[in-house]
Amino acid sequence: MAKTPLIPHSLLGAPGQLRISPGVLSGQHVFLTGMTGSAADGSMPSDPEQQFRNAFAKIAEVLKEASLGLDAVVEMTTYHVEMRDHFDLFDRVRLEVLTAPYPAWTAVEVAGLRREGALVEIRAIAHLSD
């Protein structure tokens, strides 16, 4: 099965350094690399809400490369540092950016993430429209 990397112009820096694809189109699905809430310049905002919004915005950018929107997400796994401190805020942002029918979702609390200061990493799978 063919696989096509999806690399938005705004995300060219880090994926090249890490040798990853922000997203891969394979068959009828797009598989997204976990996205943290870093800003476009690579800095990590101290504001949790801004991190959450940035992470979803990066997911939307990758999906746009496949002519999809966030409504194409069918499964999502989120990894949270100190989840109980910010889960309600994350959930509020999630409900603002995702619409029904909502994707399947697993939230996991972790001790830390690769990016210093990151509070969340969001991994998702999207489905191409029929």
- CA-based torsion, 39, 106, 89, 60: positive or negative: positive
pTM score, whole prediction? 0.93
* 9: exposed, middle or buried (Cβ count in 10 Å: 0-12, 13-18, 19+): exposed
The pLDDT mean for the chain works out to 92
Q: Which residue has the higher pLDDT, 17 or 61?
A: 61
What range does the domain containing 97 cover?
A: 3-127
User: pLDDT tens across 29-63, in order?
Assistant: 999 999 999 998 889 999 999 999 999 999 999 99
Whether the predicted pLDDT of 16 surpasses 60 = no
pLDDT at 12: 61
The residue among 103, 101, 100 whose CA lies nearest residue 123 is 103
How many distinct structural domains can be found in the chain? 1
Q: Which residue has the higher pLDDT, 18 or 68?
A: 68
Span of 1-15, 48-62, 82-96, 109-123 with lowest mean pLDDT: 1-15
Neighbours of 124 (CB within 10 A): 27
Whole-angstrom distance, CA of residue 38 vs CA of residue 74: 24
Question: Virtual CA dihedral for 9, 36, 27, 74, nearest 10 degrees?
Answer: -130
CATH number at residue 65: 3.30.1330.40
User: pLDDT tens across 79-89, in order?
Assistant: 999 999 999 99
The residue among 36, 40, 84 whose CA lies nearest residue 59 is 36
